[in-house]
A and B are shown apart, each in its own frame.
Chain A
């Protein structure tokens, strides 16, 4: 994504107010001055993280189905040519061979676009990776409508649903490039089947190298003690939700935001804590509403702490070609879309 959907001239950059942000997270201090933030795709953070993981652990190997450049597997290939394995356009075999490597004792990252892995090879993932319970790291690039001009065929919008339903699986959707780098290192070391969801488009990097990342620990990135509205977001929607919270705050609507980058295992306790004082929960993800992160949240809350939930996501349809920014705006995956939706929900 190039320029953010910040409302252009209407948007006045405001320095962060320390009381709204968790100091322990060490977020970028220019957080709300979007133009000052670096822009990078989560796939880039993954590419860096994979090289670092390879340096730390000689058992890390990279398997790629003919998409080395666009998944950033190429960076690992350049660093460790003997540990890069080419599969060709064969995603079913990608999963099966990955299973064999992991079963033997390697730490294989298998890379393709999310539409094909875990899309095309879901049964191989179920049978040979999660039921077999071997620690293959499935990296699905080009998730979401922000893939852009390639169109609906390549815009995976179902991958969270089909991975989180598998027992033994860990599912992580990093919020920015830096978190993607850390998530890559974390799943390289977790000893479990894992799915890492990546985006193609560049988005603001609002976390820093000092921001902690632990699988299964969501972070409240914007907190208003008086908030009655809370946004639970993942991926690029986390930053957009923070912008939305800031704008709504200026209009007198207090909103908190939590980054739920680990969708499985779901930290139910953290979610329940987050929503305890809320009247309205909003979930935001670049994924089908059915079965996605919001559904996972609803499963927790309906049992433990029922709340009204507004789901921001794809409404049972496919994406289409266009510029990433256009598509994100069209489908409501921007600050403006979130603000509009929350106002609607509140009847304002």
Chain B
């Protein structure tokens, strides 16, 4: 990737973060930390990695991006809007009556949302079913599943991990958002995950650890996953919940609340400052 391309993607991610703060304040409820933490990865997927067509969301040859931890969907909605799936204005309808942008995503409400999710632990199994079906039909499309780290408390995830490895679903990549927080606190205090890399490896997965805010490194990790033919790949993406707004970064109390109007103004100012920093860092 050229420096210019990386800068464009980082600026795009910054725009998307601004949209996320804006829409969450409008909604008056929702999750802030997770969406901000995963914005760089959503940007990488929709603007660099995925084969997809915003004008034809059901295109058969598309890659599938399955969101397992549905509560971070504001990041997906905002990224989809910026990618051209629907008008940016519609983001203001998040969580409102009659909106296509449900509080947790629903497949039938909004084209391009691959699966209904929110209840945790089921996205990896759904992804494995899709990956298996694609492979049966000799198709090359890939399936990517995004999960949280708190979500790994769910037993269903590990049933799915066994299944995908047993059936050697190498067209499946899971991305674990390793942000170390969940509703009740830090993951290692609530229910310790321990050595996640060793866990996934022992289940038969190829594991890559990456900085989830380094878009180039993340894209490289996905390319590496494509080269692994023998087993599925798990990318453990280390992220900072609330990324981009220093006063809320790594604060688990921001897992499930939106900014107030006053906070919104402060946060948007932070993000505009960040934009200047991104431009400056690529100028040097």
Contact = CB atoms under 8 A, between A and B. Distances in A.
14 contacts: A61-B133, A85-B132, A85-B167, A90-B163, A96-B124, A96-B160, A97-B125, A97-B128, A97-B163, A104-B64, A104-B129, A108-B129, A132-B106, A134-B107
Interface string B225-259: 00000000000000000000000000000000000
B205 to A, nearest CB: 15
A97 B116 CA distance: 14
B125 A127 contact: no
Grouping DSSP codes into helix (H, G, I), strand (E, B) and loop, the A interface class, with mixed when no group exceeds half, is helix
A47 interface: no
A96 B125 contact: yes
Nearest to A85: B132
Contacts of A212: none
B136 interface: yes
Nearest to B117: A127
Contacts of A85: 132, 167
Contacts of A134: 107
A97 B129 contact: yes
A99 interface: yes
A98 interface: yes
Given A85-B167, A103-B126, 19 more contacts: A61-B136, A87-B163, A90-B162, A90-B163, A92-B156, A93-B160, A96-B129, A97-B126, A98-B129, A99-B115, A100-B128, A100-B133, A101-B129, A103-B130, A104-B129, A104-B133, A128-B115, A132-B106, A133-B107
Interface size class of A (residues with CB under 8 A): 20 to 34
A95 B129 CA distance: 10
A120 B131 CA distance: 24
Give me the 8 closest cross-chain CB pairs, A-B, nearest first. Answer: A100-B129, A96-B125, A93-B159, A104-B133, A90-B159, A100-B126, A97-B129, A132-B116
B156 A96 contact: yes
A132 B107 contact: yes
A251 interface: no
A96 B132 contact: no
A321 to B, nearest CB: 29
Given A100-B130, A131-B106, A132-B116, A83 B136 contact: yes
A101 B122 CA distance: 13
Contacts of B131: 100
Given A83-B136, A103-B130, A104-B134, A93 B163 contact: yes
A172 to B, nearest CB: 23
B237 to A, nearest CB: 22
In this complex, which of A100, A103, A126 has the most chain B Cβ atoms within 10 angstroms of its Cβ?
A100
A100 B127 contact: yes
B115 A132 contact: yes
B63 interface: no
B156 A127 contact: no
Contacts of B130: 100-101, 103-104
Contacts of A131: 106, 116
Interface of A: 61, 82-83, 85, 87-88, 90, 92-93, 95-106, 108, 123-124, 126-128, 131-134
Contacts of B114: 103
A99 B129 contact: yes
A96 B136 contact: no
B118 interface: yes
Interface in B87-141: 106-108, 114-119, 121-134, 136
A20 to B, nearest CB: 47
B125 A93 contact: yes
B132 A97 contact: yes
Given A85-B167, A92-B156, A123 B119 contact: yes
Nearest to A101: B129
A92 B155 contact: yes
Nearest to A126: B119
Nearest to B131: A100
Nearest to A98: B129
Contact of B116 (A61, A82, A127): A127
Contact of A103 (B115, B136, B156): B115
A141 B64 CA distance: 33
B122 A133 contact: no
Contacts of B132: 85, 97, 100-101
A96 B125 CA distance: 5
Nearest to B134: A104
A103 B129 contact: yes
A169 B265 CA distance: 46
A133 B108 CA distance: 8
Contacts of A98: 129
B39 to A, nearest CB: 25
A87 B160 CA distance: 9
Contact of A101 (B133, B155, B167): B133
Interface string B160-171: 101100110000
Nearest to B161: A93
Nearest to B139: A104
